[in-house]
Amino acid sequence: MIVEELNESSKALAKQFPNLVEMKQVGESVSGEPIYCLKIGHGKKNALLYGFPHPNEPVGSLMLDYLSWELARNEELRKLFDFTWYIVKVADVDGAMLNEGWFKTPYSFRKYVYNYYRPAGNEQVEWSFPIEYKTLKYDKPSPETKALMEIIDSAKPDFIYSLHNAGFGGVYYYVSEDAPLLYPIFEKAAQDRDVPLSLGEPEVPFVKQYHQAVFQMPTTVDIYDFYEKYSQRDPAEIIMSGESSLGYARRFNPNLFEIVCEVPYYYDERICNLRQTKSVRRDLVLENLEFQKKDMDTLKEIYEKIKSHIDTHTKFQDALEYFMKSFEKAFEAEKKWAETAEELSRNATVAEKFDNEVASKSYSLFKWGMLYRLVKSQNRFKKDPILKQAAGQIKKLIDSRIEQLEKKTKFKVIPVKSLVQIQLTAGLYASLYASLRS
């Protein structure tokens, strides 16, 4: 569903259940698009659920659309949880619209790359909440983040569900505290839909692992402490964005429980294979870091060539400049961690080897997709030989990498319905857990 369809569904819901559902505009995007929130029910506790924390992650919006209708229709379901539900289907409206080119064809990885957009970190809904910690002070929340802040400030939620999803890999979870009761449910939610757990390299190297594919949810405080340990620079010079929803919302309700359920679009069975390989994990991680550095250097070189030819400012330019700068600042610390972390001294599993050699390289394609969109979006593109040459070079690189990826993997596309069901199952049980513990 695109943004317009999601908003129309919300309007229809509020109209059909006027005594139970309130649809309210809670803010505006940077471009002036309305950001809507559905308030459903009259429970004693408050739950905040929001989709598109990152605009290339649409699965959660579909889950929220289904859940909102089910909550309105099903009185027993509302009574079971005793929540007042605050549901924001589209937190990043502008960003979601920039991704709509691939929403109707999620089975095509190529279509995804060429229609991808993800904002700069300091413009991301999830990572631009205010924070003041040691030498770090950030107080420039995006308009979209401000909309969520309004809800958090007033509702002081007991439960938050930030609807993220991954790209290539398996299912994994973040929780704000160790909650062993939920882990068998999380596993079963994926297994029942024949979707593997992600058992390779963790997305964030320094987070605590509670269970297989379940991690402690990171905050900017954790990121700061990581850079303080592994970098010679002031962490405040490296961190260019703000706090997470968890770090911010805990100010108002320390007993808050938050969950993230990351579901992939595509997978290869190796992502859950724990058989040991002959490769040392540290070597694989360092090789991957070097690949990422060379890849970013190449992208930066092409960007510098076309920079003076840019005549139309776009969000793609802001995002690319942010990611190039943040990668350069963080690389030293990540490399030092990789060189010294004790957990990397053992031999890697098949899943970890696959993550380092294949999956992470698929993610690296997305910045190239944004660079291609930046070049093609220029008014002078058709008449500028430098831009046309760059577009051809970028397209050749992307197509070649995708071809290599398809040769190296048993590429499987996961039905969207299965992903929605996994997020729904995890979210309902996590919200029940939150309602009973507080």
Number of Cβ within a 10 Å radius of residue 164: 19
Closest listed residue to residue 92, CA positions, set 127, 131, 63, 68:
127
Take residue 146 and report the two structure tokens written for it: 């401000």
The interaxial angle of helices 59-73 and 3-16, nearest 10 deg, is: 10
Active site residue 262: yes
**Single-letter residue type at 123:** E
List 138's β-bridge partners, or say none.
131
Instruction: Give dist(CA 106, CA 72) in Å, integer.
Output: 29
Q: Which of 123, 126, 262, 334 is catalytic?
A: 262
Return the closest-CA partner of residue 373 out of 123, 154, 190, 99. Answer: 99
368 within 8 A of 397, measured Cβ to Cβ: yes
- Other Cβ atoms less than 10 A from the Cβ of 225: the count is 15
Residue 182's alpha-carbon distances to 89, 174, 438, in angstroms, are 25, 12, 16
Asked whether 223 and 124 are in contact (CB, 8 A), the reply is: no
Torsion-angle region of residue 90: left (phi > 0), alpha (psi -120 to 50) or beta?
Answer: beta
List the beta bridge partners of residue 413: 266
Residues classed as catalytic:
262
